[in-house]
Amino acid sequence: MTARGRRVAQASLAMKHPLFVRTLTSGDVPLMRELLTLFGRAFDDVETYSAHQPDDDYLERLLESETFIAIAALVGANTVGGLAGYVLPKFEQPRSEFYIYDLAVDAPYRRAGVATAMVEKLREVAASRGIYVIFVQADAGDDAAIALYATLGQREHVLHFDITPRTSTA
């Protein structure tokens, strides 16, 4: 059996229940908190995702916003994957883009189609909202993410820069 075959078999054993993928709504604040915990664990950055979480009202407003989408992958009662990102209304034409900000799958469920299922759900949601393109960035060296995104879309070669806001001196 190949290494990929073993991973899929392990994930199948972990999935004793069928995979269910759904979009979060304003009533899903507890599930959004589960996604935050999952992101912190998956990205080895628990501090960022857990130490200063917003209050329930903030998360409820975010989840009902037209400019934010969160998707959860569930196996039974377990949250095994999450996707979150932003709808970006464009100014040059009356249309929107979607930026996948975070996408993670819990370790035992990786390489078993969970991430693909979440992106497919996002594609449905995007089409229903008139979003014309979905984009995502992957870090150099994150071969699993790059391989996944290469199967789903067209690769662009861009550079990314973080610019720190300047505080007012007035």
- The answer to whether position 170 is within a domain reads no
Q: How far is CA 89 from CA 58, 86, 97, 101, 170, in A?
A: 21, 10, 7, 16, 32
- The answer to whether position 66 is within a domain reads yes
- The answer to whether position 7 is within a domain reads yes
Question: How many domains does the chain contain in total?
Answer: 1
- The answer to whether position 56 is within a domain reads yes
- The answer to whether position 157 is within a domain reads no
3-class secondary-structure state, position 52: coil
pLDDT in tens, 52-77: 999 999 999 999 999 999 999 999 99
pLDDT in tens, 128-166: 999 999 998 877 877 787 777 877 888 888 777 888 898
| Residue 8 pLDDT exceeds 80 | no
CATH code of the domain containing 88: 3.40.630.30
The residue range of the domain holding 102 is 3-152
- The answer to whether position 70 is within a domain reads yes
